Amino acid sequence: MKFTVTFKTPDAVYESVKDIAEQAACDIVDADENCDRQSEIRTELMDFTGKWVSWGEIITIEFDTDKGTAIVVPQNN
């Protein structure tokens, strides 16, 4: 049997991406450059996640009990 579940998780993706961007930019000593790089990384990651996450917060997972799988369904943005 296949079924889908759609989650709306306000800020969960954004907060995770923000944390990752901060970690990725932490090796930059110059504060202004660090902030610029964090912003660039955040934008890149949000663009990337947009294939699977709508509006930065809505995600759909398709479960298949016959195959024992769960996949994130690409969004039709």
Tracing tokens 């579940």 back to the chain, one arrives at: 5
| pTM (two decimals) | 0.72
CA pair distance 33, 12, nearest whole angstrom: 26
Q: What is the DSSP letter of 75?
A: P
Q: Return per-residue pLDDT of the chain as tens, 77 residues.
A: 999 999 998 888 889 998 888 888 776 656 666 677 888 888 999 999 999 998 888 999 999 999 999 999 998 75
43 with 72: CB under 8 angstroms?
no
